Amino acid sequence: MQLDEILTPGLCQAKLTGVSKKRVLTNVSELIAQQNELLKADEIFNALVAREQLGSTGLGDGIAIPHCRVSCCQKIVGALITIDNPIDFDSVDGKPVDILFVLLVPEQKTDEHLKVLAGLAELFNDEDFCYTLRHTQDSKDLYNIAVTY
């Protein structure tokens, strides 16, 4: 999986101010909707929250991969966010989260959804990659690091 297939510079945000899980999911939903006219912020937010209610997408070690299926989504969309002050995300290890990769998938793309999630989990298991993301201050640099790693 190549991140440049699902990620754009406009969907990378370095050092977003985060005060809560809900606020971050609201902000990223609005960011994605601004970049894609077919997607609506409230639909994205509601789908992400519904998925979180099934169980936290906080993987541990400060990483979360909120993901959901969205009916009007035409292709897989990703957003990479780093948060200036880590937030509680109900992660499995109880640690706060400072790196999020939000993933939206068309409803019919079940196999691709699982493949991308597996690839992301493997990528975010790389400590050097995560360290580099955490210390990147610029959103354009965040994108360049993600797609060239």
Residues 6+ apart with CB under 8 A from 48: 25, 29, 66, 67, 68, 102
Neighbour-count burial for 10-41, b at 16+ CB within 10 Å, e otherwise: ebbbbbbebeebeebbbbbbebbbeebeebeb
Catalytic residue among 57, 67, 116, 142: 67
Active site residue 135: no
Please tell me the distance from the alpha carbon of residue 84 to that of residue 6, in angstroms, as a whole number: 24
Rounded to a whole number of angstroms, the distance between the first and last alpha carbons of the chain is 12
Q: Which residues are catalytic?
A: 67
